Amino acid sequence: MQPQTRQTFTRSAIAVAVLVVAGGAYLHSKNSDIGIENANAAITAQNAAPAPVSNAAPAVAVATDFSGIVERSGPAVVNISVTGKAKQSAVSDQDDGSGELDPNDPFSQFFKRFGPQLQIPSHPQIMRGEGSGFIISADGLILTNAHVVDGAQEVTVKLTDRREFKAKVLGSDKQSDIAVIRIDAKNLPTVQIGNPALTKVGEPVLAIGSPYGFENTATAGIVSAKSRSLPDDTYVPFIQTDVAVNPGNSGGPLFNIKGEVIGINSQIYSQTGGYQGLSFAIPIDVATKVEQQLVKHGKVTRSHLGVSVQEVNQALAESFGLKSAAGALVSSVDKGSPADKGGLQTGDVILRFNGQPINHSSDLPSLVADIAPGTNSTIEVMRDGQAKTLTVKLTEAEVLKTAGKDNGAGSQGRLGLALRQLTPDEQQQVGIRGGLVVEDATGPSALAGIQRGDVILSLNGKPVNSVEQLRQLVSKAGKNVALLVQRDKEKIFVPLTLG
């Protein structure tokens, strides 16, 4: 019987835990050069007409020449090195293979039962990571991935002229995986920003980054698909390419044939952890919207509709009387949400949002997120074979902010959590009622070992069913609290010292 392989979407930053290791090395194969042939230059022998005898040189396939783009824009691509404390997770996907657990992780006790191969280190792990980025303004503003600088205590940027600078993280947004950092420098080379909407499937593209620490490595390919929806990446319509992207390429630019940046390389789909022909980039227009909010406000604000949707296939289209398999089928509506108040119902098929067609269910979240909270929006739906137009007033996505001073934000900052309510489907899947899903953990919560995806069930023994309820409990709490947390099927009380 062949062993099963696990297919995963992998962030492409390098991260290495600094521990006492007996030995180890990277093994990698040298990739052959990939040329994109001119379709008009290659003719099969079977279809080629007999040619007269000639002394002229035979026709050859011509590869796309990216050398001008590399020469012009390569100096604006930077190498990013980070140092920080290891993430507190039971088993890291970027560890040294020892399978050791962080003793500070409150869930480590649940993994001790699996045998002696999971050992507890005697000291905290220190993470060193590498990624890429690119300069978007001559005064030192740089775009990269949020997961490249996540948890970093020190960020170092190295330019192609070998100058090095300590960088300040201005802000990061995990939901879009975008971060903005700044270095103290002037008159820097910058990239030219393009329009991903004009990009066509099949176009040649170029990536520049630092795979495995090899700085300013250029790899080329084509656009394989657009508007790809990936697990846990609700707000990003990814650009899929076959450009070779490996650990360390994260945060690097994806160029079109004009030398314009159309995306930020972020993830790969792999069974091995290395490149296998499926790479995904965040469209640059998505990134620049996030960058503008991070620079101006230090955070990203998104709107909330309050529905769960699923893809419409041919069978569902016929069942709901649609002419084609398009739209977003509403599978549930959150009670009291903008969707509920606006009259959306389970079984509605959303066809347009503010006049924009919804071809796939993944189109809806990004359109909603781009609208300012408090804005009235129109939604065209198909209900019982009849077209209807509804108006909803969007609200801000309900999360506990990790920064701020007024309106209770001080108590929110004490906890250091970004949270949302579970959908009815999630509650049924997890087997609980109520609870809040952790979208992000910083400060005291991160130090206590709470992670994204954990479910907060109670604080000091009092069940929590809404963000507002938890906010009130935190505001009245003392310095130390106990959170009841569920991870997978395990529950544990986690002691927390509030900031």
Tokens 């802000």 correspond to 171
Asked whether the CA dihedral 97, 103, 108, 113 is positive or negative, the reply is positive
Nearest to 309 by CA among 379, 391, 399, 385: 379
Q: Are 40 and 60 in contact (CB under 8 A)?
A: no
Kindly report, residue by residue over 65-106, the tens digit of the pLDDT. 999 999 999 999 999 999 876 554 433 333 444 444 455 544
Kindly report, residue by residue over 317-332, the tens digit of the pLDDT. 887 788 889 999 998 8
CA distance 346 to 309: 9
Helices (H), ranges, 343-498: 363-369, 409-415, 424-430, 443-448, 467-476
Q: What is the DSSP letter of 288?
A: H
Q: Residue 154: exposed, middle, or buried by beta-carbon count in 10 A (0-12, 13-18, 19+)?
A: exposed
Nearest to 340 by CA among 377, 392, 397: 392
Check residue 271 and give its pLDDT.
81
Nearest to 238 by CA among 275, 201, 276, 190: 201
CA distance 327 to 409: 38
CB atoms within 10 A of CB 114: 11
Check residue 101 and give its pLDDT.
46
What is the identity of the amino acid at 118?
Answer: L
Q: Where are the beta strands (DSSP E) in 125-241?
A: 126-137, 141-144, 152-158, 164-173, 178-182, 192-193, 204-209, 217-230, 233-241
Check residue 489 and give its pLDDT.
74
> How much is the pTM?
0.62
CA distance 490 to 365: 31
Q: Catalytic residue positions?
A: 147, 177, 250
Query: Which parts of the chain sit beneath pLDDT 50?
Result: 1-6, 16-51, 53, 88-101, 105-124, 399-412
Which helix H or strand E contains 147, and what residues bound it? helix 146-149
